[in-house]
Amino acid sequence: MSAFVNIHIHGNHDLKNISIQSRFIEDIKSGDKSTNPYSTGIHPWNINKINVKDQLRVLAYMARSPIVCAIGECGIDRSIPISLERQIEIFEAHIRIANHSNNPLIIHNVRAFSDFLFLIKKNLIHSPWIFHAYTGNLRIAKEFIKHGAYLSFGHHLLHNNSKASEVFKEIPLENIFLETDDWDGSIEQIYLRAAEIKEIPLNELREVIFLNYQKVFKNISH
C-alpha cells in the first residue's frame, strides 16, 4: 500500500508519512543538520525583511543539495504592499533556480491567477509548478493543468460545498497533490475527504498521488 504524501507542511515533519516541510531560506543556517527533504525559497511576505539578492544566491547554492527537493514556497501575493513588478522579478528568479536544479516549484498565490497564467505561458517550463492550497475556480484550474501544472489541496476540502471541493472533483487525479499546510489536522483526514469527493477507494487515491510524487519529486530517493 502506498504511503500518504503531504507535499506542504509547516512545522515538524510527519514521521509516519511522506512529508515535505516548507522552510524559509533565511531560516536555514550554515551547518544545518536536517536529514528529511524540505522545500525552501523566499516567501512574498518576507521580501522586505531580508536581503533578497543574498538569499537568492544562498537558494541557488542550496538547490543543488539532495536534501532540497522543491523550490518555494514562492510566488505572488496581491494583498501585500510590495509592488507586483518586484514580486514577479523575484518569482522569475525562483523559476530559473528550479529549472537549473531540476526541482519543482511550490507556489504561493493570492489573487494573482491572471499573473501566473501570463507567466506560465511566457516562461519555458522545465520543472513542474505546484500551486499549493488551491482555491481558484475550475476554468483557471484547467488552464494551469493544460500547461502542465499541478494543484495541491488542503483543509478547504473538508468544507461542504467549498469551491476547492467543486474543482477537486472535476480535475484529473494525475494533476493533484494533498497537503496540510499550517493546519493542525492530519493528512489522513484530507485523504479520506478527497476520496469521498472523487468517489474512489482511498487506496486508489493514495496510489495515484504517490505516483505523482515519484514523477514530480525526481531528486528524492524513493
- With 0-12 CB in 10 A as exposed, 13-18 as middle and 19+ as buried, what is 121? exposed
Q: Could you tell me if residue 39 is inside a domain?
A: yes
Residue 222 lies in a domain: no
Residues 28-37 have pLDDT tens digits of 987 787 888 9
Predicted local distance difference test score (pLDDT) of residue 222: 54
**75 found inside a domain:** yes
Q: Which amino acid is at 193?
A: R
pTM: 0.95
Is 221 part of any domain?
no
The answer to whether 131 touches 155, Cβ cutoff 8 Å, is no
pLDDT digits (tens, 9 = 90+) for 119-176: 998 876 789 999 999 999 999 999 999 999 999 999 999 998 899 999 999 999 999 9
Q: Tell me the torsion sign for CA atoms 82, 86, 89, 90.
A: negative
Neighbours of 163 (CB within 10 A): 14
Helix H or strand E encompassing 62 = helix 52-62
Say whether pLDDT at 93 is over 80.
yes
| Residue bearing the bigger pLDDT, 220 or 87 | 87
Q: pLDDT band for position 221 (50/70/90)?
A: low
Phi first, then psi, for residue 170 (nearest 5°) are -100, -15
**What whole-number distance in Å separates Cα of residue 24 and Cα of residue 116?**
22
Q: What is the CATH number of the domain that holds 208?
A: 3.20.20.140
Distance in angstroms (rounded) separating the CA atoms of residues 160 and 198: 14
Q: Which residues are within 8 A (CB) of 20 and not within 5 positions of it... i.e. 6 or more apart?
A: 6, 7, 8, 9, 37, 38, 39, 69, 70, 217
Quote the number of domains for the chain.
Answer: 1
197-211 mean pLDDT? 98
CA 54 to chain centre: 23
Q: Tell the residue number behind the cell numbers 523559476, with chain if given.
A: 95
Task: Decide if 192 is inside a domain.
Answer: yes
| C-alpha span between 16 and 13 (Å, rounded) | 9
- Average confidence (pLDDT) over 189-217: 97
* Domain enclosing residue 61, as ranges: 5-216
